[in-house]
């Protein structure tokens, strides 16, 4: 089967021909119909995040497709079932089962997934939308609803994103986090995580407010301890979501309450797509179809 493999820090993913995977007991083979491209893969390639598994390894953790083989003991699924592979991070992180993180992922025509991570897809949810929802959508959903529980405003250095943010329900948008200070927000969610964004959020949030850090744009973050202490700010990390939250997001997509903005690219152009992410040239999410 065709795959793109992480081979070394700083190197583009390498095209490879691999044997078809075989499902062991409790696992299934999934034919990958859609795989989302995530900025965290760029961070791992660039060395900002250390991968759990050493190279060579197949990235791609936003995955949906069709069950093509069942391992011994798997019940409740059949070949031909449309499924997504959930990244289960709550109530406990199950990184060893996460595609593209603990096991070879979706930048390949097929992968093996533990049966406990599978989520059946509603009939009117495409594999493309289901794939990006496994991380980019449900991670944001968990951060906003579970960790911060907030109505929201938007901050981005590029005003080009504001129209989409307003359409999604943002009350107002700004190019500088400091502009939020006058609003005295209860919570600020930092999806960039480049260091200065977290520091600015601590400065801008209200007294007894909460800053939720989601983004992994920098290895370390420096902030002024005085603001954190003087205002009794709670700084909280947020990683992934639960399987139940992913099911809720799929229901929202099925009902039309959420419509992920996606752009499909050819599988052969995977490295070019990751490079576009690296340079901030993507609006919405990029998705590829490894099986064509």
User: Tell me, what's the pLDDT at 147?
Assistant: 63
What is the C-alpha separation between 91 and 40, in angstroms, rounded? 22
User: Tell me, what's the pLDDT at 146?
Assistant: 67
Q: Six-digit token pair at 196?
A: 């200065």
DSSP of 62-117, one letter per residue? EEEEEEEEE-TT--S--TT-EEEE--EEESS--GGGSBTTTB--SSBSEEEEEGGG
Averaged pLDDT for residues 56-61: 96
User: Tell me, what's the pLDDT at 161?
Assistant: 82
Question: In the predicted model, is pLDDT for residue 15 greater than 60?
Answer: yes
Question: In the predicted model, is pLDDT for residue 27 greater than 60?
Answer: yes
User: Tell me, what's the pLDDT at 33?
Assistant: 97
**Residue 194 and residue 215 in contact, taking contact as beta carbons nearer than 8 Å:** yes
List of domains in the chain: 2-142+240-288 (3.90.180.10), 149-237 (3.40.50.720)
**Residue 235 and residue 189 in contact, taking contact as beta carbons nearer than 8 Å:** no
Q: Which range scores top for mean pLDDT: 59-68, 157-166, 254-263?
A: 59-68
DSSP 6: B
Question: In the predicted model, is pLDDT for residue 26 greater than 80?
Answer: yes
Model pTM?
0.84
What is the C-alpha separation between 241 and 93, in angstroms, rounded? 9
146-205 residue pLDDT tens: 665 757 788 888 888 888 888 877 888 888 888 888 888 888 888 888 888 888 889 989
């Amino acid at each position: 089967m065709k795959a793109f493999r992480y081979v070394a820090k700083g190197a583009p993913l390498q095209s490879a021909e691999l044997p078809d995977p075989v499902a062991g007991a409790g696992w299934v083979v999934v034919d990958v119909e859609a795989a989302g491209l995530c900025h965290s893969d760029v961070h791992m390639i660039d060395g900002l995040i250390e991968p759990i598994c050493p190279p060579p390894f197949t990235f791609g953790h936003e995955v949906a497709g069709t069950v093509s083989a069942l391992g011994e003991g798997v019940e409740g699924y059949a070949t031909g079932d449309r499924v997504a592979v959930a990244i289960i991070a709550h109530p406990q992180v199950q990184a060893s089962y996460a595609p593209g993180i603990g096991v070879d992922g979706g930048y390949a025509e097929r992968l093996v997934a533990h049966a406990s991570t599978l989520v059946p897809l509603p009939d009117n949810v495409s594999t493309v939308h289901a794939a990006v929802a496994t991380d980019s959508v449900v991670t944001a959903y968990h951060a906003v609803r579970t960790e911060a529980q907030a109505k929201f405003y938007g901050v981005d250095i590029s005003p080009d994103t504001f129209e989409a943010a307003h359409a999604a329900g943002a009350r107002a948008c700004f190019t500088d986090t400091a502009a939020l200070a006058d609003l005295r927000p209860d919570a600020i969610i930092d999806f960039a995580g480049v260091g200065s964004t977290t520091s600015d959020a601590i400065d801008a949030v209200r007294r007894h407010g909460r800053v939720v850090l989601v983004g992994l744009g920098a290895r370390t973050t420096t902030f002024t301890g005085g603001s954190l202490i003087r205002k009794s700010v709670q700084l909280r990390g947020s990683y992934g979501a639960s399987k139940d939250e992913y099911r809720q997001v799929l229901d929202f997509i099925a009902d039309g309450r959420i419509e992920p903005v996606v752009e499909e690219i050819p599988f052969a152009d995977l490295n070019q797509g990751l490079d576009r992410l690296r340079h901030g040239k993507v609006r919405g999410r990029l998705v590829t179809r490894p099986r064509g």
